Amino acid sequence: MGHGHGHVTSASGRHAGRLVATFVITASFMVVEIATGVATGSLALLSDGAHMVTDVLGVGLALAAILAARRAHRQPGRTFGLYRAEVLAALANAVLLFGVAAYVLYEAVTRFSSPPDVPGTPVVVVSLLGLAANVVAFVLLREGAAESLNLRGAYLEVVADMVGSVGVLVSGLVTLVFGWRYADPVIGVAIGVFVLPRTWTLAKRSLRILFQHAPERVDVAALTGALGRLPGVGEVHDVHVWTLTSGMEVASAHLTVDPGCDQSAILAAARALLAEEYQLEHATLQVETGVAAVSCRQLHW
């Protein structure tokens, strides 16, 4: 049996410092926005403040997942650590976003019959501050979101809040200039509709990892065929490719080889193929001949 070793630090872990900074920024502004929303009765501000709450919870979950993964990695009984905690955090973020979007849509619809009189000036001022805070958080998380599903969950919430802040700003300006009271519930609905499809994408990607599906970029049939064409390999079976967490993809396979071949050379060639053509640096490969290969193929999972 042979294996190639990949990195032991997840993509999320490499950006933990930026996640901490984002947490401090969003938590600080969350208090300001919710307090102003309650004082003014603005649904747009309250909905954006609710998204801020999910930001704080989401970023906190992401940080907790990173810390748990780091600690568990040092415990020999947990051979895969707790890296999946990062994926669970991303899924939890998606559930939170679904809940907030549903609440905002419901509350906005109920307000259309009798929209409240919302003062425009404090809404405009707070939305400008919120937009500035979200832009900073957006810049901090943008790079990590491309690498980590965990960070992408927090990043999507920040993006949703940034769009929400723009919406709240528009709502405040319309209310201030034209006195149109429907601006607040209309913007509330727009924020909810914007969040839902992005939340669905995040949930779907998280579930794909939890169900141990192969990464979307990997063609498992092509990978199996490529291994089978290596010199000395007669057959390839029991192939598995899955994602442990973002940036940590794993593969395993059994190779039936010709009697008398150089097994070390075959393992080296297979590891090189997986690393160079499929970016699978952590692969466990088992070489089999004769009876061992036959008994292995009798397994049905």
Q: Tell me which H or E stretch contains 233.
A: strand 233-245
Q: How far apart are CA 134 and CA 129, in angstroms?
A: 9
Instruction: Report the percentage of the chain scoring pLDDT > 70.
Output: 77
State phi, psi for 209 to the nearest 5 degrees.
Answer: -70, -45
What is the pLDDT, as a whole number, of residue 221?
95
143-161 in b/e form (b: 16+ CB < 10 A) is ebbebbbbbbbbbbbbbbb
Q: What is the pLDDT of residues 153-175, one digit of tens each?
A: 677 767 777 777 787 788 778 87
Instruction: Tell me if the domain spanning 220-297 has CATH number 3.30.360.10.
Output: yes
Q: What is the pLDDT of residues 29-55, one digit of tens each?
A: 888 888 887 887 777 677 677 667 767
- In the chain, list all ranges with CATH 3.30.360.10: 220-297
CB-neighbour burial class of residue 230 (10 A; exposed 0-12, middle 13-18, buried 19+): middle
- In the chain, list all ranges with CATH 1.20.1510.10: 9-210
Q: What is the pLDDT of residues 104-127, one digit of tens each?
A: 777 777 777 776 666 667 778 887
CATH fold of the domain at 9-210: Alpha-lytic protease prodomain-like (1.20.1510)
Q: What is the pLDDT of residues 222-281, one digit of tens each?
A: 999 999 999 999 899 999 999 887 778 899 999 999 888 899 999 999 999 999 999 998
Is-above-0.85 flag for pTM? no
Q: How far is CA 256 from the centre of its chain?
A: 37
The closest alpha carbon to 218, from 249, 264, 172, belongs to 249
